[in-house]
Amino acid sequence: MRFGVNHTPSVGWFHSWLDFSPSDTARDMEAIASLGADHVRIFPLWPVVQPNRTLIRPSALADVAAVVDIAGSFGLDVNVDALQGHLSSFDFVPSWLESWHRRNMFTDPDVVASTAAYVRALAAAVADRPNLLGITIGNEVNQFAHAPHPTPHATTAEQGHAWAATMVAAARDGLSSGAAGAAGAAGSVGPEARHGSAPPPAPADGERPGPLVTVAQYDAAWYDDAQPFGPEQAADHGDATVTHSWVFNGSAALHGALGPGSVRHGEYLLQLAAAWNRDAARPNWLQEVGAPTNVVAPADAASFTEQTIRHVLGAQQVLGVTWWCSHDVSRSLADFPELEYDLGLFTNDGRLKPAGEAFAALARSGAAAPTAAPATALVLDDVLPDGSPRYGTRADCAPGGRFAAAWLALAEQSSDGRGPQVVLRSRLADEALVRSRGITSTVDVPDDLDGTALTVAHPATMP
């Protein structure tokens, strides 16, 4: 079980890539390491690295690599997200994809090829770093694929699969060629396009596993049947299934900031993620979770943090939890949703906040999930009686939905405090899978459950 923090640079926010400062970065990393965290997640800005479709700036890649090294000097592993894309309500889309040059981000062949070239180059630039945790294709890129984005790039589920597969292959290719390049000739890692898509070599026994490649989505993937990037796009690509937990999605409104439906929301998403994994051993990563002040009062943030992480520890196959975020956004920067100014474990000027103390206590405790997975699984009706996919499955899973309510009731009734696993109706017959997951009993959602599906809100405020 890994504990990490999403790094929000204290000076200049992510605009600091324009004025990269190793010492500012070092100060932030030192603070994060002081929490007992073992990793950070960092976010280059896409238009800064790739301002023209065929210009991937070597100096920008070098800056990213420098951040990885600086973090490493404080004992931190680093996950690098490629396509930002979207951060804290702001979209960062290169000019070659906007206005007169607008083309579909997910399907235009030139755009997809060049986006993959960026992912490949970024991965190659950091591939040889011993503290590289992994590459995420981008932060919640699925936001761009559908409403409520103001100008979505219309995408089908099949196109989403193709795009995710292309980007994961590009990242693996970059990791492979970058590591090979570093082994062969130091300094050869650069922005050149590289080809071939062999995965990185498997580590020998005892070696550190190779960097992870992951696809990150916001929670419409799990809760909105119309979102083209859904559970299968999350679970079928890359090396781990990523979830982002934000209780401003209706959870806190329905359950209260410290109600079970809020402090178990991260745990619940991890169980949903596990249900869609085709391999019981696939890790699940709660890559973002935070205490947003629009629904969690600042006085409750520490308790929310502590309870959220304790519940996460009740899930199985958890790679880790990565808190959002390290530092409050400076009040000198305008136009952020109000909650962004108070999401940090540290204030903008570096004082540890109560939520940071709660996080640090758990990170330092050596807490780990029990070895055995929860034995009971709640059955999610993902198919109709004839076996065809059931539209509405995701709405049922959304906060307040029938399935979510049933899962929460079971979790609260459990003797050990751990929420149940989730198993798909469509996979109940896969005895090997069910057995390998440690599921010994299944429960159906009761017919008489009075769960009212809420419309999941996806406001502009999501980080």
Q: Find out whether 136 and 81 touch, Cβ atoms under 8 Å.
A: yes
Q: How far is the CB of 347 from a second copy (least distance, A)?
A: 19
Q: How far is the CB of 351 from a second copy (least distance, A)?
A: 22
CA–CA distance, 275 with 437 (Å, rounded to integer):
9
Residues 52-71 that bind a second copy (CB under 8 A): 52-55, 57, 59-60
101 with 52: CB under 8 angstroms?
Answer: no
Structure tokens at 217: 């989505």
Q: At its nearest, how many Å lie between a second copy and the CB of residue 142? A: 15
Measuring CA to CA, which residue among 310, 262, 267 is closest to residue 286? 267
DSSP state of 298: G
Residue with tokens 């943030």: 301
The interface region with a second copy, picked from 94-102, 217-225, 281-289, 293-301 by CB under 8 A, is 94-102
Closer residue to a second copy, CB minimum distance, 300 or 340:
340
Options 1, 27, 74, 90; binder of a second copy; rule CB under 8 A:
90
Is residue 93 part of the contact set for a second copy (CB under 8 A)?
A: yes
The CA distance from 339 to 296, in Å, is 10
Among 109, 150, 184, 385, binds a second copy (CB under 8 A): 150
Amino acid (one-letter) located at 315: A
Site string for a second copy, 102-131 (x = CB under 8 A): x-------x---x-----------------
Q: Which residues, 6 or more positions from 351, have their beta carbon under 8 angstroms from its beta carbon?
A: none
Binding a second copy (rule: CB under 8 A), the pick from 151, 436, 440, 455 is 151
What gap in Å lies between CA 186 and CA 189, rounded to an integer? 8
SS3 421: strand
Rule CB under 8 A: choose which of 19, 207, 349, 448 binds a second copy.
Answer: 19
Compare residues 2 and 102 and give the one whose CB is closer to a second copy: 102
Contacts of residue 361, defined as CB under 8 A and 6 or more positions apart, other chains included, come to 306
Q: Which residue's CB is nearer to a second copy, number 27 or number 57?
A: 57
Q: Report the alpha-carbon distance of residue 51 to residue 48 in Å, rounded.
A: 6
Nearest distance, CB of residue 457 and a second copy, angstroms:
14
- For position 51 contacting a second copy by CB under 8 A, the verdict is yes
CB 7 within 8 A of CB 44: no
Give the Cα separation of 198 and 170 in Å (integer): 10
- Using the rule CB under 8 A, is 190 a contact of a second copy? no
Q: Does 34 bind a second copy (CB under 8 A)?
A: no
Find out whether 247 and 296 touch, Cβ atoms under 8 Å: yes
**Residues binding a second copy: what is the number (CB under 8 A)?**
37
Q: Whose Cβ is closer to a second copy: residue 234's or residue 329's? A: 329
Q: CA of 124: how far to CAs of 72, 174, 175, 207, in Å?
A: 17, 4, 5, 20
Stretch that binds a second copy, among 85-93, 175-183, 346-354, 434-442 (CB under 8 A): 85-93
Q: Which stretch binds a second copy (CB under 8 A): 8-16, 198-206, 376-384, 429-437?
A: 8-16
φ/ψ bin of 312: left (φ > 0), alpha (ψ from -120 to 50), beta (otherwise): alpha
Q: Is the dihedral of CA 186, 187, 193, 199 positive or negative?
A: positive
CB of 102 to a second copy, least distance (A): 7
The 329-348 site mask, x for binding a second copy (CB under 8 A), equals: ---xxxx-------------
Residues 96 and 53: beta-carbon distance below 8 Å: yes
With binding defined as CB under 8 A, does residue 27 bind a second copy? no
Select the residue interacting with a second copy from 22, 34, 75, 101 (CB under 8 A): 101
Tokens of 12: 């200049």
Q: Is the Cβ–Cβ distance between 30 and 91 less than 8 Å? A: no
Q: Which of these ranges, 98-106, 127-135, 211-219, 387-395, lies near a second copy under the rule CB under 8 A?
A: 98-106
Amino acid (one-letter) located at 400: G
The correct pick among 43, 92, 106, 218 for binding a second copy (CB under 8 A) is 92
Would you say 42 or 355 has its CB closer to a second copy?
42
**Residue in 9, 47, 191, 200 binding a second copy, rule: CB under 8 A:** 47
Binding site for a second copy (CB under 8 A): 12-13, 15, 18-19, 47-48, 51-55, 57, 59-60, 89-93, 95-96, 98-102, 110, 114, 149-151, 332-335, 460
